[in-house]
Amino acid sequence: MNKVFVFDLDDTLMTNVHDYAEPILDMARVIIRRLGPKAPHVSAVIALEEEIDKRRVHEVNPETGNKFFYSMERFPGTLVETYRAICRKAKVEPEMSVEVELFDIGYSAFDTSHYKNNIDPKALQTIEMLVRKRDIVMILTKGDSRVQINKLAALKASKLLKRVKIVSDKTPQTFKEILEDFGAFDCYSVGNDYEKDIVPAFEAGCHGVFIPVETWEVIGRMDEILAKVDRSRCLVLNNLGEIIERYGEL
């Protein structure tokens, strides 16, 4: 029987986590330069940014009335909120010019010139192999369509895949709808985040292919996460290319 492979995009088919590293470092430089001795240690600045960004994923964007989730505005706004939080603690009035500078720095994370080099060397080869086997292959990605469309263009997904779905969050219902579209096929969700890419798929009756990557959302928790993996329903791989090598185990 043919299979359905539902691929995550960010940090699965192409790297993503390090696109945010340079803007975060630039943010820390700006804050330390502006506040001088009133600024916390650089490690504290970066830790605070991480804490605020995780929280803001589920906060409501006052301009849209919807949760930020993985929208384009969340990350630049997080850099501004980090600066404001540090200013409050230092009893310093935030400067509008600094906030504008930080917001612009945040938007640099979406520089499309990075995307081609971010593609996993095994991504296209793996997809091509599955297509040759007449399996159904699609991409299900969380994020802002304004960003994700550019990544998909770099991947040239349209030439290999007829099915791409961009969502604000992955839920069991998302995977149920995919199964309803394809009928009685074995479905595999392939992703780097066990809790967000794999577990919701389990609830819909799919299997998992987990390729762990330590992103900002799971820093320091990888051993804990690996201990929770249901290996009766999920294959854990070291890299994307192992799908080709271990296809017979699926």
Domain definitions of the chain by residue range:
3-15+115-249, 17-113
Q: Do residues 213 and 192 lie in contact, with contact meaning Cβ atoms separated by under 8 Å?
A: yes
| Other C-beta atoms lying within 10 Å of the C-beta of residue 135 | 19
Give the DSSP per-residue string, 116-165: HHHB-TTHHHHHHHHHHTT-EEEEEEES-HHHHHHHHHHHTHHHH-SEEE
CATH number of 3-15+115-249: 3.40.50.1000
> What is the spatial distance between Cα 57 and Cα 70, in angstroms, rounded to a whole number?
7
Instruction: Assess whether pLDDT exceeds 90 at residue 161.
Output: no
CA distances for 218 relative to 50, 82, 114, 192, angstroms: 11, 20, 23, 11
pLDDT digits (tens, 9 = 90+) for 101-136: 999 999 999 999 999 999 999 999 999 999 999 999
Cα–Cα nearest to 30, from 76, 73, 83, 84: 83
pLDDT digits (tens, 9 = 90+) for 186-222: 999 999 999 999 999 999 999 999 999 999 889 889 9
Name the pLDDT band for 155 (thresholds 50, 70, 90). confident
